[in-house]
A and B are shown apart, each in its own frame.
Chain A
Amino acid sequence: MGHKTPLYELHESMGGKLVDFGGWDMPLHYGSQLEEHNIVRQDAGMFDVSHMTIVDVSGQEARKYLQYLVANDVARLEVQGKALYTAMLNEQGGIIDDLIIYLMTEKGCSNEWYRLVVNCATREKDLAWMADRAIGFDVTLNEQPELAMVAVQGPKARAKVAALLGGSREQTINQLSVFQGFESEGWFIARTGYTGEDGLEIMVPEDEVAQFWSALAEAGVAPCGLGARDTLRLEAGMNLYGSDMTDSVTPLESGIAWSVAFEPADRQFVGRDVLDQQKANGGYDKLVGLVLETRGVLRGHQRVIVDGVGEGEITSGTFSPTLGFSVALARVPAGTGAAAKVEMRGKEIDVRVVRPPFVRNGKKVFE
């Protein structure tokens, strides 16, 4: 028996097929993963993401600490509520976890603080690492286990949630720009997600979340499980920690070099020396998209063969419900061009190499 979120009983009563995920009993689907996927692309679906770990960082040196802890630069957050995607690296430049950081106050105010959302499977190592790195900084780390979290995603997600909540929370939702979150009457409402669609991630005290989930269901928001969450994020070209990146690969090798702030050059963050060296030397592996437009499904760990260049491996693969064929992320040698082969069930199958994402806002986006 794993940990249970405050929505566990509702998942059971709504027909969720519960599976273990990083030590938590979570819904895989409520009947059809494909239907849940399509609802998020076309309308609105909701995910219980209460298993994710929320950590608030405050204190005089909160900013200075985060500038050291993560590869992106929180000084880039100019406006209250704005969010930053980044990775936390070890001394070898390997990725300990990926995370979102929200600036919770006005920039530069005397009580400036930040909210971090990290993965659930990595919770313990993340918290230990963060605490160790905090030594010598005037900073306080507060985990928020009493907060549940619901992601409502899809083109109609914001409108449906705003209409349901009304009042000042509705106003908050209407004010949010993309990748921004605000506190509203004890809730934290952010316009972020992991699906490639518009939508919200909402942090709610755990004793209020069941009522909110039920009200969303009544308002026509479909419950969706981890299965759809995985196909949606993969179509959107978003990495999954533990599959597409681990602590033995760097952001440059994981398609998220854009989330590393090399400027200013004198900001010393953990792992920086390795990344600087890697960037200067070049020739490192890269994370690319693969597309198989005929039958068959690309799967994680399948071997990728690039003629005359070398070999790589699929880090995650799936059937893309939106496109009707299979897509994958794969780590391949630097010299990989537009074509590769994948070994599937004993045969070498031709695939195209593309730049992710595959789908954004319901539409195919790769060339």
Chain B
Amino acid sequence: MSNVPGELKYVSSHEWIRVEGDGTVTIGVTDHAQEALGDVVFVELPDMDADVSAGDDAGVVESVKAASDIYAPVSGVVIAVNEDLEDAPEMVNSDPYGDGWFFKLKLTDESELDDLLSADEYSAACEEE
């Protein structure tokens, strides 16, 4: 069974969101997603300062098996990207909720956070797949 930390928020496209409490969020892909992808070999991240809307493509993760889009789960401006993934994409597999984070956004509309899934809701969504 994959790991779904209770303190994070989720979307059904398998990104996790950590609400930092200062109007910013950190985003990555879930343990369930990295397990389904298999070994990650390349990660394409959004540009710094890019304006993204909830649901936009914000990057690509390529594993030995397939390429998958990464979606922005909420709207905002990109304020940080995890450049370490360039040289060590395997961190997405080994530490999806820690060193394997993808990017940080400054939220444009905090009310969008209300639409995100809780850990329990996300676990239930995964089981339905």
Q: Which residues of A contact B (CB under 8 A)?
A: 29, 32-34, 227, 231, 295-297, 299, 318-319, 321, 345
Contact = CB atoms under 8 A, between A and B. Distances in A.
A345 B39 CA distance: 20
Contact of B64 (A231, A295, A296, A345): A231
A296 B42 contact: yes
B62 A33 contact: no
A319 B38 contact: no
B67 interface: yes
A231 B41 CA distance: 13
Nearest to B86: A295
15 contacts: A29-B38, A32-B39, A33-B38, A33-B64, A34-B39, A34-B41, A295-B42, A297-B42, A297-B64, A297-B67, A299-B67, A318-B64, A319-B64, A321-B64, A345-B67
Nearest to B90: A34
B3 to A, nearest CB: 15
Most buried by A among B44, B60, B65: B65
| 5 smallest beta-carbon distances between A and B, as pairs | A319-B41, A34-B39, A297-B62, A295-B42, A33-B39
Contacts of B93: 32
Interface of B: 38-39, 41-42, 44, 60, 62, 64-67, 90, 93
Given A34-B90, A297-B67, A345 B60 contact: yes
A227 B39 CA distance: 10
A297 B67 CA distance: 8
A43 to B, nearest CB: 18
Contacts of A296: 42, 62
A298 B11 CA distance: 29
B99 to A, nearest CB: 17
Nearest to A345: B67
A212 B42 CA distance: 38
A176 B90 CA distance: 39
A34 B39 CA distance: 7
B13 to A, nearest CB: 17
Contacts of A231: 64
Nearest to A29: B38
A70 B14 CA distance: 50
Contacts of A34: 39, 41, 64, 90
A227 B44 contact: no
Contacts of A318: 64
Nearest to B43: A295
Nearest to B66: A299
A29 B65 CA distance: 12
A364 B62 CA distance: 23
B62 A319 contact: yes
A51 to B, nearest CB: 20
Given A33-B38, A345-B67, 7 more contacts: A227-B38, A296-B62, A297-B64, A297-B67, A299-B67, A319-B41, A319-B64
Contacts of B65: 227
A299 B42 CA distance: 14
Nearest to A295: B42
Contacts of B60: 345
A342 to B, nearest CB: 13
A29 B39 CA distance: 10
A345 B70 CA distance: 14
Contacts of A33: 38-39, 64
Nearest to A324: B41
Contacts of B42: 295-297, 319
A29 B44 CA distance: 25
A227 B62 CA distance: 15
A33 B35 CA distance: 12
A345 B93 CA distance: 23
Nearest to A230: B64
A295 B61 CA distance: 11
Nearest to B65: A227
Nearest to A294: B42
B44 A295 contact: yes
Nearest to A28: B38
Nearest to A36: B39
A21 to B, nearest CB: 14
